[in-house]
Amino acid sequence: MTHGYPTGTGTGPEPAPSPYGITPQQPNGIPGMPYGVPQQRTAESAPAAEPVTAPVPRKPGRDRYLDLLRSLALVRVVVYHLFGWAWLTVLFPSMGVMFALAGSLMARSLNRPAMSVIRGRVRRLLPPLWAFSAVVLALMFANGWNPLKDPNLDGTWGLASLFNYIVPIGAPPFPWHIGSKSGLLEDTWAVQAAGVLWYLRAYLWFVVASPLLLWAFRRAPWPTLLAPLGLTAIVGTGLVIIPGETGNAVTDFAVYGSCWVLGFAHNDGMLKKIPRYVAVSGASLVMAFGLWWASNHLGPDGWDLNDIPLAQATWSFGFVVILLQYSPSWQELPGRLAKWDRLVTLSNNRAVTIYLWHNLLIMATVPIIDLAYKLPFMQSERAVGALDSAYTIWMFALVWPLIGLMVMAVGWVEDLAAKRKPRLWPNGVKRSVGTQPRSRAAHRG
């Protein structure tokens, strides 16, 4: 996504740098390649506030402003993992935004019995994960990976941890190097493909914890909202070190916990009760602290906030406060934004599919583009140099049609998971016999 993406999705010693210059990085991604990779990462009490007993009524239907934010977050994630630009984590903290939006929808759903809501959320999450896991594990096993013999795994425990490909309660195992360096996919492709699963783990933890978090928020809003930031200051700065994947999971939960609870505040109308100048001023101060902290704790990729948990938490928190404070609650995209309505609808209907598969598809662009070197008019040194210099641009251009193909190939699993009729291209266009297609905002359900 806390991050471009968290780090440390595997266990064991760090692997040697790959021929592409990629080395696993600590919290959120594997830098170096033409595309970056995620990893599984890798105060004083506020005055008692009046308990929030009931949410402010909301209009039915989709909030297109929130849908637009989710689409922008997905695009930013793809661009970050392709180009590896650290400054994108400052320009738009996509994971914090995505967790806040999910928290808002979760709070809205919890007007119903909690267990039915949790079951529904888990049901929608798991089938798309199973489709992804089936392909990734088949590729790993076909290339000779045996978790029982993997030196980075602990024998039987490594085999048992394959369960995380079914229910993402922890970090899934994978080989750091697999296949041939001269093969179709670069030999760290498994790291790249499985690295994105940290987000599903964090999302699942938040979903399960949401009934308790929402109960606490409506009785003590400010302590519940700010507690994750305090936890990040403890576990995300090295003050207290929790080893292994448990530490990564706790850090992810802390870093994005306040963003998730901000979603509760947005749903319940709490943010609208705070004067805008107060909210924006306070958020700006928190963001300024985040940048100050980052400037003194730069990681291996400089200003990549995925490597700096406290900076990521505070910057994302302030950024989300401002986005939700100005939330216009559109029923339809206005003005020039209306021309993006179909793509926004499509990306929201297939958000899980796009997120799960995008990194693997980025890597799939490499062998496709490499075919161009074999074309007759590409045999000159000048032509080869031109292609080399624009390689990542071609990857960027090619990954989107590949994502589109994957949406049609497996995206319908999201519909089955939501107990809807499968659709190949759910962009909101309704087709009727004898009529022309018409675009309208579609519901994701």
Give me the pLDDT at residue 20, please: 32
Average pLDDT, the chain: 86
Joined together, the tokens standing for residue 110 give 């919890």
Q: What is the pLDDT of residues 126-178, one digit of tens each?
A: 999 999 999 999 999 999 999 988 888 877 777 889 999 999 999 899 999 99
Joined together, the tokens standing for residue 2 give 């806390």
Give me the pLDDT at residue 36, please: 39
Give me the pLDDT at residue 431, please: 61
Dihedral sign of CA atoms 385, 386, 389, 395 in order:
negative
Give me the pLDDT at residue 154, please: 79
Q: What is the pLDDT of residues 374-408, one digit of tens each?
A: 999 999 999 999 999 999 999 999 999 999 999 99
Per DSSP, the three-state class of 261 is helix
Give me the pLDDT at residue 47, please: 41
Give me the pLDDT at residue 52, please: 45
Helix, strand, coil distribution of the chain in percent, nearest 5: 60, 0, 40
Q: What is the pLDDT of residues 62-103, one digit of tens each?
A: 899 999 999 999 999 999 999 999 999 999 999 999 999 999
What kind and span of H or E run contains 292? helix 276-295
Give me the pLDDT at residue 151, please: 84
Q: What is the pLDDT of residues 312-350, one digit of tens each?
A: 999 999 999 999 999 998 999 999 999 999 999 999 999
Q: What is the pLDDT of residues 241-284, one digit of tens each?
A: 999 889 999 999 999 999 999 999 999 999 999 999 999 999 99
User: Over 60: is that where the pLDDT of 10 sits?
Assistant: no
- The residue with greater pLDDT, 15 or 95, is 95
Give me the pLDDT at residue 38, please: 37
Q: In this structure, are residues 81 and 5 in contact, taking their beta carbons and an 8 Å threshold?
A: yes
The percent of residues in the chain predicted with pLDDT above 90, rounded, is 73
User: Over 60: is that where the pLDDT of 18 sits?
Assistant: no
Joined together, the tokens standing for residue 427 give 């962009």
Q: Which residues lie across from 439 on neighbouring strands? A: 429
Buried-exposed string 57-87: b where 16+ CB fall within 10 A, e elsewhere: eeeeebbbbbbbbbbebbbbbbbbbbbbbbe
User: Over 90: is that where the pLDDT of 54 sits?
Assistant: no
Instruction: Return the number of other C-beta atoms located less than 10 Å from residue 222's C-beta.
Output: 15
Give me the pLDDT at residue 410, please: 98
Give me the pLDDT at residue 60, please: 56
Give me the pLDDT at residue 180, please: 77
If phi > 0 it is left, if psi is from -120 to 50 it is alpha, else beta; for residue 57 that is beta
- Give residue 186's pLDDT band: very low, low, confident or very high (50, 70, 90): confident
- The residue with greater pLDDT, 62 or 296, is 296
Buried-exposed string 345-381: b where 16+ CB fall within 10 A, e elsewhere: bbbbbbbbbbbbbbbbbbbbbbeebeeeeeeeeeeee
Give me the pLDDT at residue 335, please: 95
User: Over 90: is that where the pLDDT of 5 sits?
Assistant: no
What's the rounded mean pLDDT across residues 356-379? 94
Give me the pLDDT at residue 14, please: 36
